[in-house]
Amino acid sequence: MEKPSHPQPKPLSAYLSVIADPRLERTREHHLQDILMISVLAMLCGAESFVDFEDFGQAKEEWLRTFLELPAGIPSHDTFGRVFAAIDPRHFSQAFTGWTQSLRKQISAEIVAIDGKSLRRSHRGKEGGPIHMVSAWAHENGLVLGQCKVDEKSNEITAIPELLRALELSGCIVSIDAMGCQKTIAKEILEADAHYVLALKGNQNMLHEDVKSFFEDARKRQFRLGPKKLIAHDYFETVEKDHGRIERRRYWVCDQIDWLLERQPWEGLRSIVMVESTRQMPAQTSAEVRYFISSLPAQARQMARAVRGHWTIENQLHWSLDVNFREDDCRIRAGYAAENMAILRHLSHNILKAEPTKKRGIKGKQKNAAWNHPYLLSLLRF
């Protein structure tokens, strides 16, 4: 008997259609769905501004009319700007998260990195500084799972729990830098049926000093016993060689933490971690030691996967947003426009990243999308 096939995921347009139109009905010359679809398609081709969206629409109007209604023609750049400034970003983000979840492959103990990024040129002078977005990055899937704007009078500590509650994290390993090393955040992650790996720095002064002192005392025995016998622990080491540079990372993970006075307030705390990184180059050698707490058991290989996976949010997402989408150069700032444009960039990044047929980077896929109508349309249906 043939097994029933899995239902095909809904197209992106179905998720965008549920976004509430913020305009008065009597002022709507253009359909919201048309405005959003032109914006997505334009950004997939490399557009960066509302003027670009209008130019894209004008250049492609005949083709766009084959699948969009466009009752009043192509919207002006002012119309794009007013609509993006008015759309409730919570609705846009919910549509984004729902669509992304339909693309996401199930991966055992998937690494989900949480980190923030400022949109540097979105500041409004005396009215306020640049907006700051906290994003969740699924390392193995290579997808942004969701994002949340940090309130101007707050910081990432209040935004991260809101983001965590919006995501499906069951079975995942959530990694966060020192800013997110908070008891309430650790609890939120466990309540989401996930594990945490949290970086330790001075903001958790006593806990950081206790963990640091423990490992430093244990290292005094290293010369006699060797690096693999530092303490009763699990150990893992990696060595990478590239263009004359040698990077060595050593991971020590210990779950014997009954002595740790600060452990009780941290729900689910099970192990502490030390990571020693050394980089050897022809002219110099540098070293760094970092510390972490985790709800995971003392399995150094898994911890190495989590620690290394976290930094892909910097070099695969934040770097791409700045280089391929020129996010830091964007001066859009009116109303909700900066936040909604950030979500649109995440959406476009996910589409281009997940598309499997072109063995090109983001910029190469954008060029192909601009040149090839069938390929551009296929990006919304892959």
308-348 pLDDT per residue, tens: 999 999 999 999 999 999 998 888 888 899 999 999 999 99
Residue 43 is encoded by which pair of tokens?
């950004």
Q: Within this chain, do residues 120 and 183 fall inside the same structural domain, yes or no? A: yes
**23 with 83: CB under 8 angstroms?**
yes
H-state helical runs in 220-283:
222-225
Q: Within this chain, do residues 256 and 351 fall inside the same structural domain, yes or no? A: no
Q: What's the structural domain count of the chain? A: 2
Q: Within this chain, do residues 63 and 132 fall inside the same structural domain, yes or no? A: no
Partner residues linked to 294 by β-bridges: 197, 271
Contacts of 318 (CB under 8 A, 6+ apart): 115, 117
Q: What is the pLDDT of residue 6?
A: 43
pLDDT mean over 5-23: 80
354-to-53, 135, 159, 229, 323 alpha-carbon distances in Å: 23, 18, 27, 43, 18
Give residue-wise pLDDT tens across range 203-262. Answer: 788 999 999 999 888 877 654 555 555 555 789 999 988 877 899 999 999 998 999 988
2 pLDDT tier (thresholds 50, 70, 90) = very low
Q: Within this chain, do residues 34 and 161 fall inside the same structural domain, yes or no? A: no
What is the strand order of the sheet 195-200 is part of?
143-150, 132-138, 111-118, 173-176, 195-200, 285-294, 271-280, 245-254, 234-242
Q: What is the pLDDT of residue 3?
A: 41
SS3 of 138, please? Answer: strand
Give residue-wise pLDDT tens across range 262-317. Answer: 888 999 999 999 999 998 888 788 999 999 999 999 999 999 999 999 999 999 99
Q: Within this chain, do residues 115 and 264 fall inside the same structural domain, yes or no? A: yes
Q: State the amino acid at position 66 in one-letter form.
A: T
Q: Within this chain, do residues 72 and 110 fall inside the same structural domain, yes or no? A: no
Q: Within this chain, do residues 192 and 249 fall inside the same structural domain, yes or no? A: yes
Q: Within this chain, do residues 151 and 239 fall inside the same structural domain, yes or no? A: yes
Treating both helix axes as pointing N-terminal to C-terminal, what angle do 156-166 and 89-103 enclose, rounded to 10 degrees?
Answer: 50
Give residue-wise pLDDT tens across range 67-121. Answer: 999 999 999 999 999 999 999 999 999 999 999 998 899 999 999 999 999 887 7
Q: Within this chain, do residues 200 and 288 fall inside the same structural domain, yes or no? A: yes
Q: Within this chain, do residues 108 and 83 fall inside the same structural domain, yes or no? A: no
165 pLDDT tier (thresholds 50, 70, 90) = very high
Residue 85 is encoded by which pair of tokens?
């400034």
Whether 66 maps to a domain, the answer reads: yes
pLDDT mean over 140-155: 87
Contacts of 4 (CB under 8 A, 6+ apart): none
Q: Within this chain, do residues 208 and 349 fall inside the same structural domain, yes or no? A: no
Query: Can you say whether the dihedral through the CA atoms of 215, 218, 221, 226 is positive or negative?
Result: negative
Q: Within this chain, do residues 272 and 154 fall inside the same structural domain, yes or no? A: yes
Residue 305 is encoded by which pair of tokens?
């996967």
Whether 323 maps to a domain, the answer reads: no
Residue 344: give the domain boundaries. Answer: 14-87+335-378
Whether 325 maps to a domain, the answer reads: no
SS3 of 149, please? Answer: strand
Query: Which of 256, 301, 249 lies closest to 276, judged by CA?
Result: 249
Alpha-carbon distance of 92 to 243, in angstroms, equals: 44
Alpha-carbon distance of 29 to 234, in angstroms, equals: 64
